[in-house]
Amino acid sequence: MGVVYRARQTSLERIVALKMILAGPFASKQIIQRFRGEVTAAALLQHPNIVAIHDVGIHDGQHFFSMDYVEGQNLSQIVGNRPLPPAKAARYIKLIAEAIHYAHQQGVLHRDLKPSNVLIDSNDQPRITDFGLAKRLDGDSSLTMTGQMLGSPNFMPPEQASSERGKVGRPSDVYGLGAILYHLLTARPPFQAESFESVINQVLNSEPVSPRLLNSSVPPDLETICVKCLQKEPSRRYQSAQELADELNLFLHHETDPRASCHARRTHLALVPAQSSCCEPLGGAGSGDPHWVCSRYRGIAPAKPGRDDHAAEPLHRRYEPGASSLAGRQSATCREVAPGACPSTRQDDLRGFEWRYLWKLCRMKVASPSQM
């Protein structure tokens, strides 16, 4: 829709980025409206990690606005085909999430979060740009036509790909943040295919490949955070970008201080050991540490499989990584714990794709060759 030039603002003798409509005076009313919407949304935001707007106007029928010029590459260019170190990726997303939370507080949804829309400046600080699809939280978007899909399909949440999946809101931007994190950790988007239709089908109906299958150096806690952002149901994601930022902050402190514990492991995620004789570790061949698959069961599972009451014990307390009991009970643990997470008729089914993936692996391993 737009084209950006490096320019000099003569009145203040400074370098700025100048954005204009690509079609110039031949632009349609809808494109002009979207262009103005980007200016209006971005002009509301004054944050160190958001590219600031300086000026807006029309010259010879050409709409334009100027903004901060960021000397550096975007995240897509920085990643290329090589994942970033996990701690660096987490730091970037933490800062971006805090900026998005600020935007949400000002009543603005970004709706097009992707690596190419995040610039990294000379101080190694992320700067969010391109609010062309931004939407006000306090009203319907006048920029989206009925039946029209806007955004980048590889990083788009299901509810943005299909209105039948729910309403676009703050958790939609959380999904976008998780998709960027996934890209930083794996050097590929959560979903990719040769056609637009195939990508959308994956967004709506498939689960992304585990980040640790693509990059075994990804810490389990960071994978847990990433996967939670990418849940199909908005209610299963972090409900605010600040909540995600806080989680990443805990992870980063855990990386520098081993005595700290990631919130994802400590509270609202039940963790099931997956490295056993009946299950392949999600980290892939050669992964030496027990990997903990996250399934969100409110942090608890029934004390005994099949029990109908609420007697429960946090799984991560029963099976700590490296515990001697784990080594002798790995085979039985998966088959014992997984059924225990099945809900009764009076409980909500809170099992995620992680439980089903783990259960499938268990059944494949115990099946006889004639049954495979």
Is residue 181 within 8 Å of 93, Cβ to Cβ? yes
What is the Cα–Cα distance from 314 to 317, expressed in whole angstroms? 6
Compute how many other C-beta atoms are within 10 angstroms of the C-beta atom of residue 321: 15
What pLDDT band is residue 132 in, cutting at 50, 70 and 90?
confident
Q: Determine if the pTM surpasses 0.75.
A: no
The beta-strand segments (E) located in 73-197 are 108-109, 118-120, 126-128, 135-136
Q: Going from the N-terminus, what domains does the chain have, and what CATH number goes with each?
A: 2-68 (3.30.200.20), 75-256 (1.10.510.10), 267-366 (no CATH)
CA distance 369 to 305: 28
Output the furthest CA–CA distance in the chain (Å, rounded): 80
Name the packing angle between helices 170-186 and 86-105 (round to 10°): 160
Residue 316 predicted with pLDDT over 90: no
pLDDT at position 364 is 58
Active-site residue identified among 55, 112, 121, 221? 112
pLDDT in tens, 230-249: 999 999 999 999 999 999 99
Decide if 257 is catalytic: no
> Is there a contact between 83 and 135 (Cβ–Cβ < 8 Å)?
no
Please give the average per-residue pLDDT across 357-370, as a whole number: 58
Q: What is the pLDDT of residues 57-97, one digit of tens each?
A: 887 777 787 888 998 899 999 999 899 999 999 999 999 99
